Amino acid sequence: MDQLSQLQDTAEKITSMEIRGAGRIAKAAAVALRDYAKSLEVGSIGEFSRHIENAAKLLVDTRPTAVSLPNAVRLTARYTSADVEEAREEIINNAEQFIKQAGDALQKIGEIGGRRIRDGDVIMTHCNSHAALSVITTAFGQGKDISVIATETRPRRQGLLTSKHLLDHGIPTTLIVDSAVRYCMKEVDSVIVGADAIAVNGALVNKIGTSQLALAAHEARTNFLTAAETYKFSPDTILGEFIEIEERSVDEVIDKETLAGLPELNVRNPAFDITPPEYIDLIITDVGAVPPGMAYSIIKDHLGWEIGDMV
């Protein structure tokens, strides 16, 4: 496969969700940009720059909601040198650094978040978040006797991936349908979910249905935590931008044959929803457990203004 086909292949896998999860798509994009930059044959820095910009745009346009993706692309694609070989080297180093830091962040989130879990806790989680799973498996690894209620997460049923991951670690796990969340909440000590984006006001954008868990947790006075690497905070929201909510194909919700029998039926498939900051007790990040009101500081101190308007 040539360099461009490889890049397009990664973009296609992110769009189709063969590669999914806010952290994984970010890392896949960094790897794709690194490999593209490595083998790019150009005659001038101008040409190099055009190719990198196009590649960055192709990757960013695959999925609109997870801010981890544009953040990873911006952190990887930037360079200062006007020499092609040096610029290439900068991009390769940026990618390596991002991938390493993303791995370290997951471990750090596990350590920090694991302390919030007590022996005997029942935890509810939604979708399939590696950051949330890092918290849960770290707590279990510390010898805490915990169990997990995993939601199915329609329409793509990522709850099955979560259940498998937890069972592989030996953690007792119960799968429920999404509509059983409120019924089961009275048994739960803490809800832990991942994040596709955190806005400057501390609002959480995550898999559709997350805000229902938050609402039920709020009603039951149950802790609601989200685990989010710093690169999942959105610098653009400081500049007043909204986070776009991805609407995916209705084929994920209803099969074509059934839909053909109901020609007047309107079907929607929003992939994410927004949980307001007042329903979130803590955001577990790689630089500490912070209340939602600290989102501005995380963006300013750990991402910086300059990454907001690069792509």
Nearest residue (CB) to ligand RI2, 21 versus 308: 21
Q: Which residues contact 177 (CB under 8 A, 6 or more apart)?
A: 151, 152, 154
Q: Does 284 bind ligand RI2 (CB under 6 A)?
A: no
Q: Which stretch binds ligand RI2 (CB under 6 A): 14-22, 91-99, 251-259, 294-302?
A: 14-22
DSSP label of 247:
B
Sketch the per residue contact string, 103 through 142, with ligand RI2: x for CB under 6 A, - otherwise.
Answer: ------------------------x-xxx-----------
> Considering the rule CB under 6 A, would residue 196 count as an interface residue with ligand RI2?
yes
Catalytic residue among 9, 119, 121, 127: 127
Is 285 one of the binding residues for ligand RI2 (CB under 6 A)? Answer: no
* Residue 127 annotated among the catalytic residues of the structure: yes
Interaction between residue 23 and ligand RI2 (CB under 6 A): yes
Q: For residues 20 and 88, which CB has a smaller minimum distance to ligand RI2 in the complex?
A: 20
Rg (alpha carbons) of the chain, rounded to whole number: 20
User: Which residues touch 256 (CB under 8 Å, ≥6 apart)?
Assistant: none
User: Which of 119/251 has CB closer to ligand RI2?
Assistant: 251
The answer to the question of residue 74 lying near ligand RI2 (CB under 6 A) is no
- Burial environment of residue 245 by CB neighbours within 10 A (0 to 12, 13 to 18, 19 or more): middle
Nearer to ligand RI2, 159 or 308 (CB): 159
**Spatial distance between the Cα atoms of 147 and 173, rounded to a whole number of angstroms:** 6
Total chain residues near ligand RI2 (CB under 6 A): 16
Bridge partners (DSSP) of residue 191 are: 124, 224
For ligand RI2, the binding residue among 71, 94, 138, 158 (CB under 6 A) is 158
Closest CA to 70 of 248, 308, 274: 308
* Cβ count within 10 A of residue 293: 12
Least separation in angstroms between residue 262's CB and ligand RI2 is: 26
Q: Does 20 help bind ligand RI2 (rule: CB under 6 A)?
A: yes
Q: Which residue has the tokens 């999925």?
A: 63
* Interaction between residue 51 and ligand RI2 (CB under 6 A): no
Residue 196 catalytic? Answer: yes
What is the smallest separation between the CB atom of 23 and ligand RI2, expressed in angstroms?
Answer: 3
Site string for ligand RI2, 199-238 (x = CB under 6 A): -------xx-------------------------------
Angle at 25 between CA 22 and CA 26, to 5 degrees: 85
Amino acid at 68: S
**What 3-state DSSP class applies to 229?**
coil
**Which phi and psi (to 5°) does residue 166 adopt?**
-70, -45
The token pair at 35 is 């490999």
C-alpha to C-alpha distance for 42 and 263, rounded to whole angstroms: 52
Catalytic residues: 127, 196
Q: Which residues bind ligand RI2 (CB under 6 A)?
A: 20-23, 127, 129-131, 158, 193-196, 206-207, 271
